[in-house]
Amino acid sequence: MAKEHVKAALVEARQALDALIAADQTQEAIVQASELMAETIRRGGKILSCGNGGSLCDSMHFAEEMTGRFRSDRPGYAAIAIADASHMSCVGNDYGYRAVFSRYVEAVGRPGDVLLAITTSGTSANVIDAVEAAHKNGMKVVGLTGKFDSPLAQKADVAIVTPAGRWADRVQELHIKCIHILIELVERQLAPENYK
């Protein structure tokens, strides 16, 4: 019985990936987001990223690949995941958990920066508040979600919506693929010599 569940999970994951391969609108959004991010880095700006739970882990993974190294050596790119425990506990205690991302964006975000906002449902209140704070600061927002009709998809300047179905884990599996492709496309624009 357990093996049947393993195979069923893998087939479902493959179906989700096939849906992404067929999703021209999502692929175009990934290209647009990468161009926005590359231009931000080129102009000396930075990318902030945020999310809850697994999406927070994805936002941290994005930032460390940007500041560190993805495939080959190149300069580090300015990216910060909003994940500092002392900030989050301070703001959570003083203002409530809903403010943990927006307060950071208010403090650190600058005009021309980008916020990568990640929520599988597209409805996380603290992420939506961060999006609104980013826009108030003159920032652009790339939203990564799993719902076309979600608040995040509606508010983001570029909405990357992964068509993975109703389960958050399948949405997140496609999110990490989108994140890796985003980083590759940014590198192709800023460090093209790495792809010759």
Q: What is the pTM of this model?
A: 0.96
CATH number at residue 34: 3.40.50.10490
Number of domains in the chain: 1
Residue positions forming the annotated binding site for Zn(2+): 61, 65, 172, 180
C-alpha to C-alpha distance for 81 and 181, rounded to whole angstroms: 18
Q: With the CA atoms of 65, 71, 73 and 75 taken in that order, what torsion angle do they form, in degrees rounded to the nearest 10?
A: -30
Binding positions: 52-54, 61, 65, 93-94, 119-121, 124, 172, 180
Cross-strand bridge partners of residue 161:
145
Instruction: Map residue 86 onto helix, strand or coil.
Output: helix
Q: What radius of gyration do the chain's Cα atoms show?
A: 17
- What pLDDT is attached to residue 164? 73
Taking only the tens place, the pLDDT of each residue in 112-169 is: 999 999 999 999 999 999 999 999 999 999 999 999 999 999 999 999 999 877 788 8
Residue 80 is part of which domain span?
2-195
Report the side by side order of strands in the sheet with 47-50. Answer: 79-81, 47-50, 114-118, 140-145, 158-161
User: Is 39 exposed, middle or buried, given 0-12, 13-18 or 19+ CB atoms closer than 10 A?
Assistant: middle
The contacts of residue 25 (CB under 8 Å, 6+ apart) are: 161
Of 57-61, 98-102, 169-173, 184-188, least confident by mean pLDDT is 169-173
**Res 1 pLDDT > 80:** no
Binding residues for substrate: 52-54, 65, 93-94, 119-121, 124, 172
Tens of pLDDT, residue by residue over 5-36, are 999 999 999 999 999 999 999 999 999 999 99
